[in-house]
Amino acid sequence: MKKILGITVLPQTKKNILEKIIKYTEKPDGFYHIVSINPENLVIAQSNAIFKKVVETAQMKIIDGVGIVLAARLLNIEIGERLTGVDLMSELIRQANRSCFRVLLIGGDGNLAVTLADCYQRKFPEAKFLGLSGIKNIRQPKKEEEAEIFSIVLDYKPHLIFVAFGSPYQELWLWEHQDHFQNCVVMGVGGAFDYLSGRISRAPELVRSFGFEWTYRLVRQPWRLRRQLRLIVFLWLIIKQKITDFWKKVS
């Protein structure tokens, strides 16, 4: 299988991804973790072995980032369709309404998860939604905060769980506590709650279609500049992989 910076990527379409997730919800078995593949996460994975393992072993990986698309072209790797975490979450919420699923939203700023859950409940009445503020500091979670979440998951038995603690913390936390998230789909969605609630506006559809949503976010949220600097590191790592792959072929 082809890999980008040590992470396996499969050529999947949006339709194929949704079909696999829906099939799992029909006969859930074990831990089903959806992870977004973007330049920032791949850079983090190079210096965090546990996070790299979490990403590599995820049951579903989605291509979320135009940088990954461009890197795949440079490396001659087929990766299929790009699907952002926000868009996949939206699709799964609609599916939840069709299938009468229970959905749990955890995290985000303040009571954003609760507000978004209430909004979804009005818009998609066939599904059930519950929002939890969850953990105040995901870098140092308190045992009582985690225990409350695990207890609610046990009682509520959600089909879908979306966690907005930010990468890589949300993915590491879900993986570390996977015994408490069995037989349901779990996904770390970063800042998706902000966009889906309307708290922060997304880039216009035309801008998104060309893959420049990150630029739009940077203009509106200058504090992201420090995070975007990882793109430079990502580019350098991709060039190194390209050179390494070339010498393997000719040697």
pLDDT tens for residues 77-107?
Answer: 999 899 999 999 999 999 999 999 999 999 9
63 phi and psi angles, rounded to 5 deg:
-85, 100
Q: Given this model, what pLDDT does residue 230 score?
A: 78
- Better-predicted residue by pLDDT, 190 or 156: 156
Q: What is the pTM of this model?
A: 0.89
Strands (E) across 47-183 are located at 60-63, 102-107, 128-132, 160-164
pLDDT tens for residues 214-238?
Answer: 555 555 555 555 666 778 899 999 9
Taking 60 as the threshold, does the pLDDT of residue 206 lie above it? no
pLDDT tens for residues 33-51?
Answer: 999 999 999 999 999 999 9
Q: Given this model, what pLDDT does residue 57 score?
A: 97
pLDDT tens for residues 127-182?
Answer: 999 999 889 999 999 999 999 999 999 999 999 999 999 999 999 999 999 999 99
Residues paired with residue 8 on neighbouring β-strands, in sequence order = 3
Alpha helices (H) along 109-166: 112-123, 143-156
DSSP 8-class letter at 191: T
Taking 80 as the threshold, does the pLDDT of residue 73 lie above it? yes
Query: What is the distance in angstroms between the CA of the first residue and the CA of the last residue of the chain?
Result: 21
